Amino acid sequence: MKAKEVLELLQISRPTLTKYVKEGIIKVHVLPNGRYDYDKESVYQLFNKGVERKTYIYARVSTPKQKADLENQIQMLKQFCFANGYSVSKVFSDIASGISFEKRKDFFRMLDDVLAGKVERVVISYKDRLSRVGFELFHHLFKKYHCEIVVMSEVGSEKLDSEEIFEEIISLLHCYSMKMYSKRKGEKIKQILSEGELPS
């Protein structure tokens, strides 16, 4: 980080910045031209000292027709946060494409807070709710500002009751379909044997 950026972020004077560097509170890298490159991690550690960092929820659907789905998505995220002991500070949501960022006003409001170091974690239901493309880029960016992206669908040990029920239904349907397949196959064999026809 440049000195100007550090001074603006921390709202300190240049002598104070020099003092922090000398005391090792803020680490620096000396560039070939002799200028300082201020270590972003140590700057944000100082910035966040004594500040309660927040948990945000972000939800998204593609079209206005999916507004009910958006509400369900938000409720499931709230339940997930409650179950995991996260106190939700804000809920952000957009009705917009996951590929284009043109109409995603809430996403950019949330991003501003992440880049300001105010957010400890952002909770989403699936990766594509944040972005259908370039998720790893956002993961890397958020990590730089000490913000974790929690993907609800990937937290295997902390499933919601509704998710467990859904998985049980799928499992039962699979078992049922296998039984039906076996039954039909058995009936076909009996029919062939009764007709005295064996496959060549």
Task: Provide the residue type at 128 as one letter.
Answer: D
pLDDT of residue 157: 44
Of the candidates 42, 62, 93, 153, the residue annotated as catalytic is: 62
Residue 33, pLDDT above cutoff 80: yes
Band (pLDDT 50/70/90 cuts) for residue 65 is very high
Residue 190, pLDDT above cutoff 70: no
Mean pLDDT in residue range 74-93: 94
Residues 6+ apart with CB under 8 A from 36: 3, 21, 28, 29, 30
Q: Are 150 and 122 contacting, i.e. CB atoms less than 8 angstroms apart? A: yes
* Total-model pTM: 0.59
Cα-Cα-Cα-Cα dihedral sign, residues 180, 183, 187, 192: positive
89 as an active site residue: the answer is: no
Residue 60, pLDDT above cutoff 90: yes
Share of the chain above pLDDT 90, in %: 52
